[in-house]
Amino acid sequence: MSTINRRDFLKQSMAAATTIAAGISAPEAFAAPKILSAAKGKKVIVIGFDGMDPQLCSQMMDAGLLPNLSRLRRRGGYRVLGTSNPPQSPVAWANFINGAGPGSHGIFDFIHRDPEKQAAPFFAVAETVPGKGHIETGDYNIQLDFWPFNHKPSKTVLKRQGVPFWDYLDRAGIQSTFYDLPSNYPPSPSKYGNHRCLSGMGTPDLLGTYGTFQHFAENGPVTAKSEGGGIESGIFFTDDTSDTLKLFGPKNTMLKDPKPVEIDFIVHRDKKAQAAVIEIQNHKLVLKKGQWSRWVDLEYKFKTPVLIPDKRVSGICRFYLQEVFPNFRLYVTPVNANPLEPAIKLTEPTGFSRKIADKLGLFYTTGFQEDHKALSRKIFTDDEFMEQAESVLRERVNLLQYALENYEDGLLFFYFSSTDMQAHMLWWDSDAKHPTRSASEAKRCFHHLKNIYRRMDAIIGQLLKRYGDKAHLVVMSDHGFSNFKRQFNLNTWLRDNGYLGPVDSRSVLRDADWSVSRAYGLGLNGLYVNLRGRERFGIVEPGQEKESLLEELIGKLEAIRDFDGRRIIRTVHRAEKIYQGPSQYFAPDLIIGYSRDFRASWKTCLGGITDEALADNESAWSADHCMDSSEVPGVIFSNRPITVRDPSLVDLAPSILKEFGLNIPGDMTGRNIFG
């Protein structure tokens, strides 16, 4: 066993669901070409305010509430920014990254399907590929990745295709650093060592999900119940000391029957003091009602066969004591990867997250950090959600300070999620009835969101004061926002109009009769023809039959009206007319561009079918942007004039390259918008 013990042959064996095998650090950088003289000392700073809306910006600027952004507008540095089609975040940020549309990067929705498997859905940006080969021993399947076994461990791969624009900077010897960049998990490698990145949206927690909170309450279920982005468990006290509780972690996929690894903990409560003590591993946390803990580092231990060292994975979480008595309630954040000991590839290079944490301490590493699911599930009140989201913003501001202190020249990109994730839950610019709040509460929450805009404006003011004209400052968003009042189930409509069968089907994935189904929907904006030769059970012939079906669907879908006569779908786009490039394998045939206030229903996204095609949105997720791209454009501000009247997301990458004296590559479709 000595030879085996010298090898970390268990590395990356945690499998797909946990994405612990997410990546191997890139090779050591090798010599890059000499830096271009035109780029020496040049500073370009791009601040991404996800979801910042042009209508709200204009209203607030006109009211004098955004003085620093107004200052840029007066200098000719403001335009409405065209978004992606569809205006979904992974699509939009990939447009920014490639300087070209979905035909270049191959991301068309949050959700894709594999036509060869007929509608099996998966996350579009990253895929965890299962390992191959193993040795059976007792209850375990063990992988050995060295000769003569050469088993292949599972790994997570970035599905975005094409060339990210920082690769051109990297090759030219120009430094670039990106903080919390979406659509880049696992982060792409730096070939020449001039690029660093902390990945953002799309980065999973240790359970392999995009954020699963855990909640313990006296009125919770006796057996842990996982549903809707959270795990709820009951808690029972004897003399104010709880029974042993379980904090779930990643699955031990070395087991033939994979099971989550658990950490035991107990709680002691003091009803009179309205406080509790949490004992977990080597930590003893004292919390008062309404108090958050610091970040707590945890160690999940994966049992292995005899003579093989146990595997240990480090995670972090925070505890929030909501109530002590009469109904004890304790919230736990999703278990994030520990940036000091990351079990997944958080950064490029691998050690970048450790450098940040050494300076700032532990911090959120999941892509989705504001816990909207806890609010939607009514685990959080509005105020509790806003407090948790505030902690995310405080961390991000601290991270920005770190970024600036460690920035000399080249490109610095920094991302804020608050203007997006809080908008999904708090936006409501209407007197119409809110899905979950009274009129006064809806106004209060929207006022809170407008204060977030004012805080973002103050951040821009600090950057302008710090750099003046010594740096080119660009502020941008990937899309805008709208109320989400009514939800449309595309598959229900297709079923009711004879395009999807049988008539009693409730799920495309489970029930569809492909021998009679000509079209189906998956994702937030996609419609697919059941095309012969492409789909596994395709029946629609390419050529004229497909052409006639598409034109028929476009005409009928654009004619649908709500009860008040409003148009539900503004435009239906044909994919072959709006996409160009080599990466169109997963493209839908039609992109459904909804009117403001309308969006695909929650069940449409994964192929669900409801009784009625149109219904009220009753979720706390009361605003969205997955509508027609013309309805929800983004914004761009600059401390230098913008010379193009109609800039778009795809223009940012080529414009940045030109700022550093580089030519615009032929695979980019965007323009230089700064003249």
What pLDDT is recorded for position 36?
A: 57
What the block records as the tokens of 16 is 């797909």
Instruction: Provide Rg for the chain, Cα atoms.
Output: 25
| Mean pLDDT (10-residue bins), the chain, 675 residues | 30 31 32 58 97 98 98 98 98 98 97 87 88 82 80 88 98 97 96 97 94 97 93 97 96 86 97 98 97 97 79 95 97 98 96 98 97 97 98 98 98 98 97 96 98 98 97 98 98 97 92 96 97 97 98 98 97 97 96 98 94 96 98 98 97 98 96 94
Output the CA torsion 643→625→380→603 (10° steps): -160
Q: Which residues contact 428 (CB under 8 A, 6 or more apart)?
A: 434, 437, 442, 443, 445, 446, 483, 622, 623
From residue 499, alpha-carbon distances to 83, 514, 515, 555, 556 in Å are: 31, 10, 11, 14, 12
CA 664 to chain centroid: 29
pLDDT for 35 equals 54
The residue to which tokens 């404006």 are assigned: 457
Write down the pLDDT at residue 523.
96
- pLDDT tens for 440-462 read 999 999 999 999 999 999 999 99
Return the pLDDT at 252: 86
Say what the alpha-carbon torsion angle 475, 480, 481, 487 is, to the nearest 10 degrees. -150
Closest of 425, 433, 464 to residue 639, by C-alpha: 464
Return residue ranges of the chain for CATH 3.40.720.10. 43-100+162-201+367-481+632-675
pLDDT score for 26: 32
User: Is residue 233 within 8 Å of 221, Cβ to Cβ?
Assistant: yes
Backbone dihedral angles phi then psi of residue 46, each to the nearest 5 degrees = -115, 120
3-state secondary structure of 627: coil
Q: What are phi and psi of 26, to 5 degrees?
A: -65, 155
The reply to whether CATH 3.40.720.10 applies to domain 43-100+162-201+367-481+632-675 is yes
pLDDT of residue 128: 82
Q: Using CA atoms, how far apart are residues 263 and 434, in angstroms rounded to an integer?
A: 40
Hey, what are 345's tokens? 């590839």
Helices (H), 307-438: 352-360, 372-376, 382-405, 418-426
pLDDT at 5: 32
Give the tokens for residue 61.
Answer: 């600027």
Angle between the 382-405 and 439-467 helix axes, to the nearest 10 degrees?
10
